[in-house]
Structure 1
Amino acid sequence: MNKLLLSMAFLILMGITLMGQTRISGIVKDATTEKEIYDLKVLLVETGEEVKTDRIGYFQFVDVAEGAYTIRISGVGYETLEKNLTVSDQKNVDLGNVAVKFNPTSVNVGLVTLTVDDLDGDESSSQSAVGLLQSSQDVFASTAAFELGAYWFKVRGYDNKYNEVFFNGVRMNKTTNDRVNFGNWGGLNDVTRRPAEQTLGIEPSDYAFGDIGGVTYFDTRPSQMRKGTSLAYSFTNRSYNQRVLATYNTGLMENGWGFMGSFSRRWAEEGRVEGTFYDSWGYFLGVEKKINDKHTINFTGFGAPTRRSTNSPNTQEAYDLRGNDYNSYWGWQDGEKRSERIREFHEPVLMMTHHWNINKNTKLTTTASYMFGKDSRSRLDWYDAKNPTPTYYKNMPSYWETEETLNPEEIQNTYNAWANDPKRYQIDWDNIYLQNYTRNEVGEGAAYVLAADVIEDKTMSFYTNLKGKIASNIDFIAVASYQNTQSEYYKEVLDLLGANHYVNHNAFQGNYYNVDESRDRKVGEGDKYQYNYELNHQIADIFFQSVVKLDKLDITFGARASYTSMYRDGKYRNELYLNNSKGKSETYDFYNFGAKTQFLYKLDGRNFIQLNGEYATFAPTADEVFPNARTNDFTVDKLENTKVLSGDLSYILRAPRIKGRATAFYTKFMDEYERSFGYIDVTSGTAGDANVFTSEVLAGVDKLHIGAEVALEAQLTTTLTLSAVASIGQFTYENSPDYYQFSDSDALLDFGGRKNYGKAYLEDYKIAVGPQQGYSLGLEYRAPQYWWLGVTGNYLAQNYMDIAMYKRTQGFISDPTNPGFLFPNVNEETLRTLLKQNKFTDEFMLNVNAGKSFRFGQYNMGISLTVNNVLNNKNYVTSGFEQMRVGNYVEAQQEQSQRRFAPRMWYDQGISYFLNVYFRF
């Protein structure tokens, strides 16, 4: 009874309090469909306070002081609307129904569908994909991100290096390979939850020319983000197990200052895959000062120190022996699991931004930024010792099964060891230490060390963006940017593993050393060895865009010009390349341009036709210009810019109960580069070229991406929504590019460490970018009591294995013992069988999501649960690649039955879940 009386008293007091407050409220509706719009941002400009529309489009501000105010309503897919109003005499202001217009040019988010591989930037990671940065009003975009994207589906088959990410105008893509390390702001979801802009494909951006994968732009001013406090806790079985997130934002206060701080922690003592762990922190500080109505400055600083291990790709033989969750990168040491593959990075970003409202229609935004830090990836290194990798081919049963002299006892012992002995199927740390102790006793260097490949970047950036109007219906944007990156690359000893020292030699090339030092130089923990060089890269860019808005037609045209310059500066003089290893290399300059356009025809308020087109050139990345930069500054014969021609045509429907989009797209890449590392055996057990550990490069690659996208969302009832999405693509190689090898192995030293093997015959092979087709059908129920339940079925098809390029060259069928001639008895039918590209099985995946939100006055609380792969399908191969090792026709024939160098793959680990609880006030 006492509790009941207290509760009633509390409710009465709350009601009296609310009655005494001045409120601004309204209901936001679609101007065409007159349907309430959920989750739009409503900003009280003068105070910086922000709220979101609820399920019936309602919003309110409470306890508003007397004065004149501007309400700004914005959101993905809708034109920004501003309304002026006055609050006086403690009277509530009810704006009633507020109509906002649907805008197709801003409906699509730029899909950044990320695998953990992309988040970590580590080629050996394969855990569950996660979908991107924000949901969208566009049915296809949101479904492709959250549903299909969870299974390595990439929109239009574009690699993630074609997506550009900007913070206050500063480009975050790495100059080495054009990829983004999303881990640099990992866990800071309250900062990245709502980008200022996201575009899909080649759609025009207000901030940059963009790459073909789209633009994601973040504005980090506290006044542009949600005001108040947010607390969240997550529990999951994905890369990490738990996450905590706390954010506080003052908004823009009366004194013109605004402060925002955000902190996160994500961790797992052991992740979803055995032998992995995750430990990541995140921090963000934003300080804004509104000097006056024209000038605002904003300081931003953020980073995410992270340390985590990864899991291995394996052959089907290894999976058959140990299961689809097998990870070969760890072993037992002193009763604990220890991984050799650990990535550790921390690259803080500091930036200062100035916003200048020159006049009513003209605004200038300028940012200066500095980014620095270290990115380290560890692995075992050894010299004059056996390969410690459990899945090394001589450690597998298939090796003993295919020996010329079969030993049934040895074969059975190997199977037994793989079934019962962790020292065989995991790293044997005890044996590694034992061998090092043994060498200590005779004064020799370590057999094994734990080493790290390290990159230290220092990047200075400048960006300025002028927006204005040429006429009442003509907008323009002019952008200039400059970025200078100095990157140091080196190998570092992390742990001597019980040894006294390590000798600066290489496992693949015994006479590999720095001639400026002793041949037998001894290195210890923290020392650099084997390679040390810098890459210096700068890019200057200008961009102009204009939009002409007519009654029925909006026309956008943009143009870009850029200059890129790069050179290598070696710190070691390698004995194999005395004149091409130490000091500054030649400087390579690239001049590029691009043009894009969009035509948006408005048939009426519900039907739209949209056409996008682009032609642009792009400079090669630093790792493409210097394929073997660890030892020399050689490059391909003729460096060229990549050319891209792209277009898409869409019909967009926005009816009261149905919305949808149908799109046809075409993208042609010309003169691209592809690069990979590996070990190639070209000898067939006979005299001739030696085996090669190489960096292989394809130059002049042409690729074609064509397809169609269809998405439909139907409001069956007021609470039940049906969505259907289909993406049908074909992504293929279109020509036979030049194939190069860059290697320090003896086979290539006669050619100066570089050799052009002629053409790689790739035409009509499929590009390995994940499923080329994706289908999704979903049903969602949203109750008036603010809870929801959704079920989605997803079908992934046409997923292909990445092919080994050397096997598609003339060298693959050339007899090394008889230069200029092919192997005897080369059979065309057999050759086609050997070179046929593997296709993974098509798979069905079922996802479920549910949640409930609560509101207590100004307090909001929510809980949500997402479960992917509910049926626990572990047969889905997310990606895989042919091993380069089998480098000639004769050995490839033998390999058909031997399985020694079978393809390596990653499997989906089965059912996964993500539970999130938040509390906001």
Structure 2
Amino acid sequence: MNKLLLSISLITLVVGTMQAQSKITGIAKNSVTGEEVYNLTVRLDGMSNEAVMTDRIGYFQFIDVPDGHYKLQILGVGFDPYEQSINVAGEKEIELGEILLTFNPNNIDVGLITLNEDELSADESSTASNAGLLQSSRDVFARVAAFELGSYWFKPRGYDNKYNDIHFNGIRMNKIDNGRATFNNWGGLNDVTRRPDELTYGLEPSVYSFGDIGGVTNFDTRPSTLRKGISLAYSATNRSYRNRIMATYNTGLMDNGWAFMVSGSRRWAEEGLTEGTFHDSWGYFIGIEKRLNSNHTLNFTAFGAPNRRSTGSVNTQEMVDMKGIYYNSFWGWQDGEKRNERVKETFEPVFQLSHHWNFNSKSKLFTTLSYQTGREAGSRLNWYNAPNPTPNYYRNMPSWQLFLGNEEQYNLKKEDWLNGSASQLNWNKLYQANLNVGKHSVYYLTNDVNEDKTASFYTNFKTDLTNNIELIIAGTYQNVKSELFREVEDLLGGQYAKNHDDFSNVLQDVNNPDYVAKVGDRHEYDYEINRNHADLYIQSKIKGNLLDVTIGMHGSYTDFYREGKFKHGLYLDNSYGKSKTYDFFNYGIKSNFLFKLNGRNFIAVNGQYSTEAPTADEVFPNARLHDITVEESIVNAKIYSGDVSYIFRGPKVKARATAFYTKIEDEIEKGFGYIDGGEGSYFVAELMTGVDKQHLGAELAIEAQITPTIKVSGVAALGQYTYTNNPDYYLFSDDFIKSDGRAFRDYDISYLKDYRLQTGPQTGYSLGIEYRDPKFWWLGVSGNYLTNNYLDVAPYRRTVNFIRDIENEINEEKLKEVLKQSRVSDEFMLNLNVGKTFRFGSYYLGTSLTVNNILDNKNYITGGFEQLRLGNYDNAINENQQTLFGPRMFYGAGRTFFFNVFVRF
């Protein structure tokens, strides 16, 4: 009897298994030529992430597919990604038939246009355009914003980069000090980051995190999810680097369950487009994946990008008029070579271990442990009891002589600038000055260093509660220890650097009065920031025939404190040891409603309310010297954001029209600089609290396939990004401590309401046409118009202190003129891209050329800021001072090109 029952059970199990297993087949074809396409990667998401390749007739198959809901994905060089939902419910075989794929030159090498390399090399890189992140998006607007407008510092919706969350295997990579990701940490690894696992735009819901108003990007680094085979590439360009080589080898998932991937790159230039700059960057990636069984996969990832590069100066119009847009004040001749004082070095390697656990076709758990270490360092010239030697210091400018009333000296100084004798650093004089002293260096190079040690944990559980209801629960914890200090890089012939502050002449570290700093020693400031962060995220999606609804919520806890290592002579009670611990609780809720009017017309509505903790950089305005802050003003920022879109997806026309609105309240902004005002001249850290901003605008995009080979696209981005209140304004200065014992002063408010935010062009238009030949060559031309670009205003100039203690009687018209925000000129840019791919059996050879700004427009100002120096009305109306302390501006690069050739097999 027992044997009979056992036999019946086994037969039932076998029959049930056979009934629950299906076969899925299909053939991939080029939609234009009708030819079969082979060597494409086909994934069935939900089935242990199994991947297969199309064969020579474009055929692929999956066998033994259990019942369930799946997403079929097809990826390949030169084609738009393809996705299709599939329900398996007992069928023996599901024949998908011919799947038509769209050839797209943008996917030949998506790395052709990424985050602008010149932006990454500049001091202002933290505010660089984030459009490069959108390069893989199939949304028309997002793609054009990345490839066209993004090349000219256009930022979608005017958002700062800190509102874009960047993840690797679920681990958020944004920095704790300013909230922005350091793209240099994976620079050159295009074969790894070419196609993100997830890329959301704006408020779109994310699988991995609650996200921010700028969207979420996540990279899945499992070799089985990336392109299999060998890839070799060489690129030539005239941007911040001149040459790039890349090599990648990926075994794909082998029969023994292992997969290995290695990738490396180098980018270099003896001199970049900007005078006196060099670039030397490397990148490496190692991925090791082991599929233990159909349910469990382990993945080890290690990557890093050691890089060393020099930067350029931000110039006034006086400098540009004399020396051109590529002028750089940071370099000078030494022993027949150009030497730059501003050199940035970054190397922060990442190590991650991930576990993928597929419980069944409906539920999966994904967990990552991560550790990142390394350092960022930036050198600069320093001096003690000596005159400022930098050429762009205002007393070294020709216009300073006009301010003194000496026209003859002005002409002589201008001639010295024009012939180069006064416009560059004189390294020999710096060495000679140190030799004259004989012991301590009066001039020396220092490094401002940030060494982070970041340990992170992330887990994500995703399940389909029913065929129509999806649930995601994700949690993360991160601990960061940041050491921030200044170290001596080069004593320039001297023996040591003194332990005294240059401005106040007090000891920089009272605990060690006899301390002197030699090469490699810490100097001037030394402190730590210790931070903990935990976040819990829950999201549910309900899918219906006419409406999809997604609701997401999160709660987070953040705490941090400062621990000073030096006891500064001016801040005996607030510089050494641990500060108070600041902790913040935050939460957010977001929703997405997708109305499916029919198969081609959709309406999407997104909304979000969230709070965000201030960064350590904002809480401690002058953290290098002390832990003093404005206690009552340290609060969470509040974000209200929403958008509504009409989307059309036709066989030949794709279009989207979106209106968006974002209100940000209680932000904190800070800056550094000199102020010359009625009270005197001070070096200050300025702090604004309770800052409210508004981002209002519309996005319009259309893409039309006019013929099988000709496509036209048009985009309009209309924005108005403004301050909406008058925030509280404070100044921190050592001079205040010396005069009245206070570390900061309250200057009431800065009248910033209705001034424009400095976000790059707030309005942009792009019109492009491309021809894609069936024989795999293409030609594209686009015109781009950038407008409504404003320089950043100096908040102190908008306080009542600006008109106190002045000698001139206020003229209302002159006052309006000096307080008027500068708007840069509107500019037109023409771009060209052309390329050709060849196939030799299993080998692909591709070449492409992109030329931006064909017309070589060198008048384009991408951004800039007013100098703080003009600290009162008397100074601001003086024409000579207006020239001397005019706005610092970033100019576009003129005509640039990027040529790429690759071989893949």
Q: Fold-level match, TM-score > 0.5? A: yes
1:84 CA drift (Å): 9.0
Equivalent position SS for 1:503:
coil
Partner of 1:610: 604
Whether 1:432 aligns to 2:433 is no
Partner of 1:665: 660
Code of the residue aligned with 1:436 in structure 2: it is N
Q: Is the 8 A contact 1:882 1:903 kept in 2?
A: yes
Partner of 2:802: 812
Q: Is the 8 A contact 2:296 2:355 kept in 1?
A: yes
Q: Report the aligned-residue RMSD.
A: 3.0
Q: Is the 8 A contact 2:130 2:155 kept in 1?
A: no
- Work out the CA distance in 2 between the residues paired with 1:896 and 1:912: 35
- Work out the CA distance in 1 between the residues paired with 2:129 and 2:555: 38
Whether 1:457 aligns to 2:452 is yes
Q: Is the 8 A contact 2:137 2:199 kept in 1?
A: no
- Work out the CA distance in 2 between the residues paired with 1:142 and 1:857: 31
Q: Is the 8 A contact 2:126 2:161 kept in 1?
A: no
Structural mapping, 1:670-749, within 5 Å: 670-683=665-678, 689-746=679-736
- Work out the CA distance in 1 between the residues paired with 2:458 and 2:563: 27
Whether 1:587 aligns to 2:577 is no
Q: In 2 relative to 1, CA 125–549 (structure 1 residues): closer, same or farther, beyond 3 Å?
A: closer
1:325 CA drift (Å): 1.1
Whether 1:516 aligns to 2:511 is yes
Partner of 1:416: 415
- Work out the CA distance in 2 between the residues paired with 1:250 and 1:635: 54
- Work out the CA distance in 1 between the residues paired with 2:350 and 2:543: 38
Q: Is the 8 A contact 2:242 2:272 kept in 1?
A: yes
Equivalent position SS for 1:884:
coil
Q: In 2 relative to 1, CA 555–708 (structure 1 residues): closer, same or farther, beyond 3 Å?
A: same
1:73 CA drift (Å): 2.2
1:360 CA drift (Å): 2.1
Q: In 2 relative to 1, CA 719–99 (structure 1 residues): closer, same or farther, beyond 3 Å?
A: closer
Structural mapping, 1:767-846, within 5 Å: 767-815=757-805, 825-846=809-830
- Work out the CA distance in 1 between the residues paired with 2:901 and 2:86: 33
Aligned pair count reads 860
Partner of 2:20: none
Equivalent position SS for 2:224:
helix
Partner of 1:139: 140
Q: In 2 relative to 1, CA 37–209 (structure 1 residues): closer, same or farther, beyond 3 Å?
A: farther
Q: For 1:467, which of 462, 476, 480 is the aligned residue?
A: 462
Deviations 1:284-305 (A, max 9, x none): 0011111111111110000000
Partner of 1:4: none
Q: In 2 relative to 1, CA 277–59 (structure 1 residues): closer, same or farther, beyond 3 Å?
A: farther
Partner of 1:870: 854
Structural mapping, 1:301-380, within 5 Å: 301-380=302-381
1:571 CA drift (Å): 0.4
- Work out the CA distance in 2 between the residues paired with 1:52 and 1:399: 70
Q: Is the 8 A contact 1:79 1:100 kept in 2?
A: no
Q: Is the 8 A contact 1:695 1:741 kept in 2?
A: yes
Q: Is the 8 A contact 2:128 2:161 kept in 1?
A: no
Code of the residue aligned with 1:210 in structure 2: it is G
Q: In 2 relative to 1, CA 651–53 (structure 1 residues): closer, same or farther, beyond 3 Å?
A: farther
1:846 CA drift (Å): 0.2
Q: In 2 relative to 1, CA 586–132 (structure 1 residues): closer, same or farther, beyond 3 Å?
A: same
Partner of 2:16: none
Q: In 2 relative to 1, CA 591–113 (structure 1 residues): closer, same or farther, beyond 3 Å?
A: farther
Q: In 2 relative to 1, CA 49–775 (structure 1 residues): closer, same or farther, beyond 3 Å?
A: same
1:72 CA drift (Å): 3.8
Partner of 1:567: 561
- Work out the CA distance in 2 between the residues paired with 1:659 and 1:333: 57
Q: In 2 relative to 1, CA 270–50 (structure 1 residues): closer, same or farther, beyond 3 Å?
A: farther
Deviations 1:663-687 (A, max 9, x none): 000000000111111111124xxxx
1:506 CA drift (Å): 3.0
- Work out the CA distance in 2 between the residues paired with 1:629 and 1:791: 49
Partner of 1:530: 524
Q: In 2 relative to 1, CA 586–176 (structure 1 residues): closer, same or farther, beyond 3 Å?
A: same
Partner of 2:4: none
Structural mapping, 1:382-401, within 5 Å: 382-401=383-402
Whether 1:73 aligns to 2:73 is yes
Partner of 1:13: none
Equivalent position SS for 1:502:
coil
Deviations 1:640-699 (A, max 9, x none): 10000000000001112211100000000000111111111124xxxxx34211111110
Q: Which moved more, 1:508-517 or 1:698-707?
A: 508-517
1:891 CA drift (Å): 1.1
1:423 CA drift (Å): 3.5
Q: In 2 relative to 1, CA 847–837 (structure 1 residues): closer, same or farther, beyond 3 Å?
A: same
Partner of 1:539: 533
1:248 CA drift (Å): 0.6
Q: Is the 8 A contact 2:371 2:455 kept in 1?
A: yes
Code of the residue aligned with 1:352 in structure 2: it is L
1:201 CA drift (Å): 0.7
- Work out the CA distance in 1 between the residues paired with 2:740 and 2:216: 46
1:125 CA drift (Å): 9.5
Partner of 1:42: 42
1:712 CA drift (Å): 0.5
- Work out the CA distance in 2 between the residues paired with 1:741 and 1:423: 38
Whether 1:619 aligns to 2:613 is yes
- Work out the CA distance in 2 between the residues paired with 1:28 and 1:477: 35
Partner of 2:224: 223
TM-score (norm. length: structure 1): 0.89
Q: Is the 8 A contact 2:136 2:143 kept in 1?
A: yes
Q: Which moved more, 1:750-759 or 1:655-664?
A: 750-759
- Identity percentage of aligned residues: 54
Q: For 2:637, which of 642, 665, 677 is the aligned residue?
A: 642
Code of the residue aligned with 2:408 in structure 1: it is E
Unaligned runs of 5+ in 1: 1-22, 86-92, 102-108, 684-688, 816-821
Structural mapping, 1:648-659, within 5 Å: 648-659=643-654
Deviations 1:474-521 (A, max 9, x none): 001000000110000000000001111111223333224211011x63
Q: In 2 relative to 1, CA 837–65 (structure 1 residues): closer, same or farther, beyond 3 Å?
A: closer
Q: In 2 relative to 1, CA 576–144 (structure 1 residues): closer, same or farther, beyond 3 Å?
A: same
Q: In 2 relative to 1, CA 229–674 (structure 1 residues): closer, same or farther, beyond 3 Å?
A: same
Q: Which moved more, 1:836-845 or 1:45-54?
A: 45-54
Code of the residue aligned with 2:235 in structure 1: it is S
Equivalent position SS for 1:275:
coil
Partner of 2:21: none
- Work out the CA distance in 1 between the residues paired with 2:747 and 2:574: 22
Q: For 1:901, which of 881, 885, 892 is the aligned residue?
A: 885
1:897 CA drift (Å): 6.1
Deviations 1:141-198 (A, max 9, x none): 1100010000000000001111000001100000000011000000000000010000
- Work out the CA distance in 1 between the residues paired with 2:39 and 2:503: 58
Deviations 1:27-82 (A, max 9, x none): 3699xxx999999852388996555899xxx8456xx9999899942468864446
Partner of 2:124: 123
Moved over 6 A (4+): 34-40, 44-47, 64-71, 124-130
Partner of 1:596: 590
- Work out the CA distance in 1 between the residues paired with 2:131 and 2:590: 31
Partner of 2:105: none
Q: For 1:501, which of 496, 503, 506 is the aligned residue?
A: 496
Q: In 2 relative to 1, CA 117–580 (structure 1 residues): closer, same or farther, beyond 3 Å?
A: farther
Equivalent position SS for 2:123:
coil
Q: Is the 8 A contact 1:594 1:617 kept in 2?
A: yes
Deviations 1:252-296 (A, max 9, x none): 111111111101111001111110000000000011111111111
Q: Which moved more, 1:767-776 or 1:627-636?
A: 627-636
1:96 CA drift (Å): 3.2
Whether 1:860 aligns to 2:850 is no
Structural mapping, 1:219-298, within 5 Å: 219-298=220-299
- Work out the CA distance in 1 between the residues paired with 2:124 and 2:753: 26
